Structure 1
């Protein structure tokens, strides 16, 4: 590819790239959440994680309290049984044995009740914390839903604009030779969206717009002649730019 046709193809390719870069920008914009939505979403997620931890802690405390309650009920039943058996005792020795047994049960019940007190206090604290977090979440979620709706509308509008640009891009691509277009698209994928760059005059030399290296004279001559030429450093296609 060279001469006038080559120059026109490279000019068209550079214009196509401008369209591609605009499409890329809009797609990135569509994929990026607004700062206010990001901040609120992060806060809600943090509160939901805190709430989950509190609920897990509440479940643990309830299990511990339930175990103590069951143990106390079991001991209370054993105490009644021991008292009933004591009334049937036939000797002072048996009476003393039952008294000792009953006292041991009472001591254990008292011990369990003492252990249950801090558990109950912790349960009350956790329940209060759960109520506070739930109240904050209840206040935040309507705003989050509103921002999500607004963002969905924004994304839909951007998608419509992207579709319009893609249609324009397809029409532009039809005027570019297929081998040139294929090579450009392969380079663009490898070079973060930029497949063709201008050759810029800098004093007595020419530099690549993409990587800023000084181009060898023979490479610059090919570009001036509108040959399909790559930068020997970054591998992008070079265009001499507008005259």
Structure 2
């Protein structure tokens, strides 16, 4: 900032400090706009958990239904084979053939009985799943309208915040016009790398001076430059320093 006297530099740094307060306010407003209210988060989590549970139940139901359908087809096939074997047995010409058909029919009937025994717990499981699915769907039908209402309420809240942010950004642009461009760019670069704080005050503590940004005692020559109104950065944290009141 060559050609600028100490008083002007101090004023520029003070203006920059005021701009930073505006920037921090904007940061808070943007964070508030991006965050979700606790009630909305809680209901959203409930809905998501129920939807996930419902998806798992429906998947399990589809698997059981597939298995049940497979058993039903096997039973139809075995029943047809049983009838065919009985018809062929009636046409048997010898006792040996009669016995062979009898054995075959018995094997088919044993298999039919096994499938029926397996089908019973499948049906019971499917009925139980239907009850669980109905319960979850009922819970979702009650929660979803609440979630929609909270989302709409939040959208209105965010809309209001965005309007406020737009006004604050306009104020910020007006404030920035009175600050030297080189100093402003330096501040913005530091702010990006230092979690939003690009300029801090230097505070006296006894015979020492400390940086408010990192609380480190500043070297005497650095403190003297700050007192003189020079543009100085903290040698420890790199933030711009402004003499405290």
Same fold judged by TM-score > 0.5? yes
Q: How far 1:92 sits from its partner (Å)?
A: 1.1
Q: Give the 3-state SS of the residue equivalent to 2:56 in structure 1.
A: helix
Which TM-score applies when normalising by structure 2?
Answer: 0.98
- 1:106-144 superposed Cα distances (whole Å, 9 cap, x missing partner): 110000000111111111111110000000000000000
For residues 36-115 of structure 1, what are the structure 2 equivalents within 5 Å?
A: 36-115=39-118
Residue 148 (structure 1) aligns with: 151
Give the Cα separation in 2 of the matches to 1:209 and 1:49: 49
Contact kept? 1:197, 1:239, Cα under 8 Å:
yes
Which residues of structure 2 form unaligned runs of 5+? Answer: none
Give the Cα separation in 2 of the matches to 1:200 and 1:9: 19
Residue 21 (structure 2) aligns with: 18
Say whether residues 1:182 and 2:161 are aligned partners: no
Give the Cα separation in 1 of the matches to 2:74 and 2:209: 89
Q: Give the 3-state SS of the residue equivalent to 1:198 in structure 2.
A: strand
Residue 232 (structure 2) aligns with: 229
Task: Identify the match of residue 129 of structure 2 among 126, 131, 140.
Answer: 126
Residue 32 (structure 2) aligns with: 29
CA RMSD of aligned residues (A): 0.6
Give the Cα separation in 1 of the matches to 2:133 and 2:156: 34
Give the Cα separation in 1 of the matches to 2:169 and 2:228: 31
Give the Cα separation in 1 of the matches to 2:32 and 2:66: 49
Task: Identify the match of residue 207 of structure 1 among 203, 207, 210.
Answer: 210
Which TM-score applies when normalising by structure 1?
Answer: 0.99
Q: How far 1:241 sits from its partner (Å)?
A: 2.8
Structure 1's consecutive aligned runs of 4 or more residues displaced over 3 angstroms after TM superposition are: none
Give the Cα separation in 2 of the matches to 1:157 and 1:221: 46
Give the Cα separation in 1 of the matches to 2:17 and 2:240: 10
Contact kept? 1:16, 1:173, Cα under 8 Å:
yes
- 1:68-87 superposed Cα distances (whole Å, 9 cap, x missing partner): 11000000000000011111
Q: Give the 3-state SS of the residue equivalent to 1:229 in structure 2.
A: coil
Give the Cα separation in 2 of the matches to 1:101 and 1:39: 63
